[in-house]
Structure 1
Amino acid sequence: MSALEIRQVRKDFGSTRVLKDVSLSIDSGEFLILVGPSGCGKSTLMNAIAGLEPVTDGQILIAEEDVTWRTPAERDIAMVFQSYALYPSMTVRQNIAFGLEMRKVPKAEREEAVERVADLLQISQLLDRKPSQLSGGQRQRVAMGRALAREPKIYLFDEPLSNLDAKLRVEMRTEIKKLHQRLGTTIVYVTHDQIEAMTLADRIAVMRDGNILQLGTPEEVYNDPVDMFVAGFMGSPSMNFIQATLEGEPGDYRLVVETPASARLVLPWPAERETPGMTNVVGRRVVLGLRPEHFSAEDARLGDRAEGTLLTAQVSVAEPTGADILLRLPLGDGEITARVGPKMRIAAGDCIELRVDMSRAVLFDADSERRLA
């Protein structure tokens, strides 16, 4: 059964359309993440689900009941905000219990719920403190505890980790993941951080300009992006886009890239990855998409996936990250980023030879930016 269904939802602010016929269905117990750049409409969609913003058109169903025009209190949802929204004059215990008290839940049940979520979130020792006495991570746990105490049909998280420092973000991300695995709750989560999306979600909805461009598992969105925007938005560092010309015929397609030295770099396209649409762009400019990890300077097994070495180039920048090294190299009319192993001894100005795993490359139409293969 669908826990949440959104049907052709539109939202206008004056003459500006912020949501454009958005439709999606979320299963019970699913963790869905809405991701996209600032201004794409993800928070507006979240507010529409919560009932904080009335929709211009369309329907919103929770547990198969039409709640489009119901108030937030009538929707049986709980929301965790970016700003925590804790009452400063109340203790942690009172903050967690406040929503239950407003719903006239008996005192014994309130106390039991507070103890349950405090134990779940490991904040039992903080129950008698006030928000001003807590760290950012502790405040976020309290905000989550207030939502969890209610046991609603759906939890909504609106960029809950954006105010935390990098270390706390990682820790809280893990806590939220564990929480979902333990409770099996239905969660809709908004973020602009694609790493949060990749690590937390069962499915990701990538939004842009009020539309959902792609809805799929993290693996689908990362490995099989529908267009250049999704491909470039998901992944850190982002996908390399290389201008090329498609030559050849079915069974023998080749991508030709003009290098800075005016030489032609020829990359064979795997026959098993061909699509019918490729015949329409032979002789035309296309965009080859390669992620940094598709390059290799160490694994000779990749040699049969490319025609000789991919590139001999002078490294512009070498960035050791601990787990690996990111290299910036000239290719085509710009630069690419390659990810290599941490044992390599390389610095800016060194020359390096790389191979490419073309079996994982993607191809885009240069004009429409839609995926071809």
Structure 2
Amino acid sequence: MSALEIREVRKDFGSTRVLKDVSLAIDSGEFLILVGPSGCGKSTLMNAIAGLEPVTDGQILIGGDDITWRTPAERDIAMVFQSYALYPSMTVRQNIAFGLEMRKVPKAERAEAVERVADLLQITHLLERKPAQLSGGQRQRVAMGRALAREPQIYLFDEPLSNLDAKLRVEMRTEIKKLHQRLGTTIVYVTHDQIEAMTLADSIAVMRDGHILQLGSPDEVYNDPVDMFVAGFMGSPSMNFITATLEGQVGDYRLRITTPEEQELVLPWPADRVTSELAGHLGQQVVLGLRPEHFSEQDARLEGQQEGTLLETRVTVVEPTGADILLRLPLGDSEVTARVGPKCPVAAGERLALRVDMGRAVLFDPQSERRLA
């Protein structure tokens, strides 16, 4: 296992710069996920780490050793691809052992490694089958087994679950999590699926247009996003953005929101979350960020319920999901999503009293989209 450090890496394809001075560092045994929309540069960065794409400038270090200009074979890295890349004419046993055979590992050691990873991934009963006889999930386990048999310094996963159906993705996600907990390996994992990122990662790097916008724990990127892109990208359903006017005076701020029904809604901003930047935005428009779970239904059974600021609004759409209910309701200049309990007694068109947890809300500058508070 080794730590990974990337220092101001740039990658150009002709006149197009795909990676723009990317820097990050992860500790030995850490699970890093690169996440972002298609075309943000995450797969290019993964290929640069693997040595499949030479960088234009910058350094890549593993365990403090500069491997920037080494060939893929010299980097001691194993990669699991989106397409399983199995040899169709070989059995599962032969597919797993092939990389070891190419490295001239003795036959007895190869056999031992195959049995070890087959037991770890619970595919021992599949060793004599060929890829055509396997399901998608089984093929992905074989692809992982081929990488695990090598015991390299770092494992790279490039969207390994994207070809699987929804149920199998959840199952394989759990297996990868267990695998990392068991082995304590250093893993860099690329995905566009932010649910995968939240459930698997120790650290998440959110990318956009060749830049890393934020690097932090799942909790940090979800609850303390640096800008509106990160806030909107992480979370499902995504964060609600509501235009509001910041009013009041230093230490006593309020957010005034005009509803589509021409009603004025005033939400107090918590005094303990006032930042120096807010003073410069008094009397100006800001963007209030509220996640669906920051709303909760007013419960008449709880006498004196005080959690959050009370508002009343009309519900336009009710979407039961089983575990909870998603409500669509007008607020400010947009329609927002609220997540409430599965027994909330409301139908489309009815009015509902909701509480808003302003203690977890965030504010953004509408021009720069950077976080203000």
> If the length of structure 2 is used for normalisation, what is the TM-score?
0.98
Are 2:370 and 1:370 equivalent residues in the alignment?
Answer: yes
Alignment match, 1:303: 306
RMSD: 1.1
1:1-373 matches, within 5 Å, as 3-298=3-298, 303=306, 305-306=308-309, 309-310=310-311, 312-373=312-373
Q: Percent of aligned pairs with the same residue?
A: 83
> Is contact 2:9–2:19 with CA below 8 Å preserved after alignment?
yes
State the distance in 2 between where 1:249 and 1:132 align: 69
Structure 2, unmatched stretches of 5+, are none
**Residue 346 of structure 1, CA deviation:** 2.1
State the distance in 1 between where 2:306 and 2:290 align: 16
SS at match of 1:303: coil
**Residue 26 of structure 1, CA deviation:** 1.3
| Partner AA of 1:8 in structure 2 | E
| Partner AA of 1:188 in structure 2 | V
State the distance in 1 between where 2:118 and 2:239 align: 42
> Is contact 1:302–1:355 with CA below 8 Å preserved after alignment?
no
State the distance in 1 between where 2:271 and 2:305 align: 16
- Taking a change above 3 Å as real, the CA distance of residues 277 and 2 of structure 1, as seen in their structure-2 partners, is farther
> How far does the alpha carbon of each residue in 1:129-175 deviate from its partner, in whole angstroms, 9 at most, with x for none?
00000000000000000000000000000000000000000000000
State the distance in 1 between where 2:148 and 2:291 align: 39
**Residue 344 of structure 1, CA deviation:** 1.4
> How far does the alpha carbon of each residue in 1:4-26 deviate from its partner, in whole angstroms, 9 at most, with x for none?
11000000001110000000111
SS at match of 2:105: coil
> Is contact 1:250–1:279 with CA below 8 Å preserved after alignment?
yes
> How far does the alpha carbon of each residue in 1:83-140 deviate from its partner, in whole angstroms, 9 at most, with x for none?
0100000000000000000000000000000000000000000000000000000000
State the distance in 1 between where 2:115 and 2:345 align: 54
**Residue 333 of structure 1, CA deviation:** 1.1
Structure 1, unmatched stretches of 5+, are none
State the distance in 2 between where 1:255 and 1:315 align: 22
> Is contact 1:60–1:66 with CA below 8 Å preserved after alignment?
yes
State the distance in 1 between where 2:150 and 2:305 align: 53
| Partner AA of 2:59 in structure 1 | Q
> How far does the alpha carbon of each residue in 1:252-275 deviate from its partner, in whole angstroms, 9 at most, with x for none?
100000011111100000000000
Choose 75-84 or 243-252, whichever is displaced more.
Answer: 243-252
> Is contact 2:2–2:29 with CA below 8 Å preserved after alignment?
no
Choose 290-299 or 82-91, whichever is displaced more.
Answer: 290-299
> Is contact 1:20–1:211 with CA below 8 Å preserved after alignment?
yes
> Is contact 2:2–2:153 with CA below 8 Å preserved after alignment?
no
| Partner AA of 1:303 in structure 2 | Q
> If the length of structure 1 is used for normalisation, what is the TM-score?
0.98
> Is contact 2:221–2:234 with CA below 8 Å preserved after alignment?
yes
